[in-house]
Structure 1
Amino acid sequence: MKVVYGERIGQTARLSVSCSAVIFDEDRQKLLLMRRDDNGRWSLPGGHMDAGESVTEACAREVLEETGLHVQVGKLIGVYSSPDMILQYADGNRYQTVHFCFEARPLAGTLTSGTETLELAYFSREELAHLDIMEHHLQRIEDAWAGNLLPFMR
């Protein structure tokens, strides 16, 4: 997957609802990232919502598939829906997403890479500067660390 910016392509992209989870360590000093198998870049665990599920169910499912963790989906960090950011997949599909980013807390499971995950690790804010993180996840990460009571709308 790659991200296309500044190209309002309107009708050539489909709308999709997606979600991601920010999972902090117990001290809230580090957060969990996954290295994707499709592009080798780091991102928050998450993905597209399937028909028949809520955004919180989708978030919990995606986290389980990508990390092996069962989570309790909690606080909404933000909703992200810029028409200037399009996700383009290797199969040619292009999506403008309405994305919900949540904070989640592990309940059970063992941290294990899934079929879409090359690597999983917790990183501090300082360590993030040295990683190749997907650009659209950087804002979500910063918003999570901001600790606002109300969600961001971006």
Structure 2
Amino acid sequence: MNTSLQILPAVAAIVFNDAGEVLLQKRRDVDQWGIISGHVEFGETVEEAIKREIKEETNSKAIILRLIGVYSSPASQTYRYGDRTVQYVTSYFEAIIEEKIDLDFFNQETAALEFFNIDNMPVDMAQINPYWLSDALSKEQKVFLR
């Protein structure tokens, strides 16, 4: 097996505030904005993983509202890191934060947190599935498989 090619489980979540704005995290590793996301660690479920990621990256506890979809398309889920290439299979959720988010919070992963109007997203967005916003806003009661 070529160890430079990997398939890994991942999680992501969209969080809206009461005004319908989307919470984005400015990631320190790529210096770009993106939704809360991360890897599933050995021994945890995808639900546990996204709750952990939200806590680590926002310092706030979350409640999962629904599974939006599972994303595995090589076109949008493949990332290149130096000498290795990873295709992520991402479970994507909608979550709400149980407490007020401290927008001044930062740590080794999070450079900044900010809510953005869906019509005025930052231009420096990290690579993301092209359907992330439309699927989250969809009124269809279904799970998307992309």
* TM-score (normalizing by structure 1): 0.83
Alpha-carbon spacing, 1:138–1:43, altered in 2? closer, same or farther (3 Å) = farther
Of 65, 71, 81 in structure 1, the residue corresponding to residue 62 of structure 2 is 71
* Matched length: 142
Q: How does 1:52-67 map to 2 (within 5 A)?
A: 52-67=43-58
1:113 to 106, 110, 126: 106
CA deviation map 1:90-109 (0-9, x unaligned): 6x443111001100011136
CA–CA distance in 1 between the matches of 2:113 and 2:64? 19
Query: How many Å separate the matches in 2 of 1:38 and 1:150?
Result: 33
Letter of the 1:57 partner, please give it.
E
Distance 1:131 1:138 in 2: 14
Q: Tell me, what secondary structure is at the counterpart of 1:97?
A: strand
- Structure 2 unaligned blocks of 5 or more: none
1:137 is displaced (CA, Å) by: 4.2
Secondary structure at the aligned position of 2:120 is classed as helix
| TM-superposition CA deviations, 1:33-60 (whole Å, max 9, x none) | 0011111111101100001100010000
2:5 matched to which residue of 1?
Answer: 13
Q: Between Structure 1 and Structure 2, which shows a larger proportion of helix residues?
A: 1
Cα 1:118/1:147, change in 2 over 3 Å: farther
Q: Is 1:143 aligned to 2:142, yes or no?
A: no
CA drift at 1:12: 3.6
Q: Which amino acid aligns with 1:76?
A: L
**Contact 1:46–1:62 (8 Å) recurs in 2:** yes
Counterpart secondary structure, 2:136: helix
Distance in 2 (alpha carbons) for counterparts of 1:81 and 1:136: 12
8 Å contact from structure 1 (residues 78, 140) kept in 2: no
1:69 is paired with a residue whose SS is: coil
Is residue 29 of structure 2 the alignment partner of residue 38 of structure 1? yes
CA change 1:132–1:105 in 2 (3 A) is same
Q: Is the contact made by 1:15 and 1:95 (CA closer than 8 Å) also made in structure 2?
A: yes
Q: Residue 19 of structure 1 contacts residue 49 of structure 1 at CA under 8 Å; is this kept in 2? A: yes
- Tell me the CA shift for residue 80 of structure 1: 0.4
1:126 Cα deviation from its structure 2 partner: 1.3
Query: RMSD across aligned C-alpha pairs, in angstroms?
Result: 1.9
Structure 1: any 5+ residue segments left out of the alignment?
1-9
